[in-house]
């Protein structure tokens, strides 16, 4: 069976990145990869760990997919002047039938949820994003 750990890490990194920008909205922010993925231990050549680079990839994917904007990457350490896109903001403020915002649901899933619960929520948000 295929190990999907990298996909679970992607959902967690993407969710944490969206929340970091939501909590700072509308002000642009510098978001450090280590603040999302945790501390990094570069190797003896100064190269980042695969986990760090995967988180950086999730941040870049969010930009290319239209969820966020940022002006530039600061080496492989951070994204500078990052902010939610218009559609990214609308996605997070949308409310479910119980009146809870997607941001609240995402925050709860990132903090307390299991990987399958976070995956289901993130996939639902991605489907919703495509209809905005």
Number of structural domains, the chain? Answer: 1
Query: pLDDT tier at 2 (50, 70, 90 boundaries)?
Result: very low
Where in the sequence is the domain holding 12, given as residue range(s)? 5-131
**Tokens 């930009």 sit on residue:** 63
Report whether 36 contacts 106 (CB < 8 A): no
pLDDT at 76: 92
Report whether 56 contacts 33 (CB < 8 A): yes
Residues 83-114 have pLDDT tens digits of 999 999 999 999 998 999 999 999 999 999 88
Query: pLDDT tier at 42 (50, 70, 90 boundaries)?
Result: confident
Q: What angle (nearest 5°) sits at the alpha carbon of residue 18, between those of residues 112 and 97?
A: 65
3-state secondary structure of 79: strand
Residues 119-131 have pLDDT tens digits of 999 999 999 999 8
Closest CA to 82 of 90, 93, 74, 94: 74
Residues 47-91 have pLDDT tens digits of 899 999 999 999 999 999 999 999 999 999 999 999 999 999 999
**Average confidence (pLDDT) over 3-9:** 82
Question: Strand 68-69 relative to strand 29-32: parallel, antiparallel, unpaired?
Answer: unpaired
Q: Looking at per-residue confidence, does 6 or 88 come out higher?
A: 88
Q: How far is CA 19 from CA 3, 42, 91, in A?
A: 26, 26, 11
């Amino acid at each position: 069976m295929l190990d999907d750990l990298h996909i679970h890490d992607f959902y967690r990194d993407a969710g944490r990145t969206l929340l970091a920008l939501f909590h700072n909205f509308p002000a642009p922010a510098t978001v450090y990869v280590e603040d999302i993925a945790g501390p990094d231990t570069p190797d003896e050549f100064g190269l980042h760990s695969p986990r760090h680079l995967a988180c950086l990839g999730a941040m870049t994917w969010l930009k290319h997919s239209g969820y966020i904007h940022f002006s530039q990457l600061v080496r492989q350490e951070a994204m500078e002047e990052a902010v939610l896109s218009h559609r990214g903001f609308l996605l997070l403020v949308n409310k479910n039938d119980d009146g809870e915002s997607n941001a609240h649901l995402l925050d709860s899933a990132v903090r307390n949820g299991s990987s399958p619960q976070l995956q289901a929520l993130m996939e639902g948000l991605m489907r919703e994003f495509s209809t905005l």
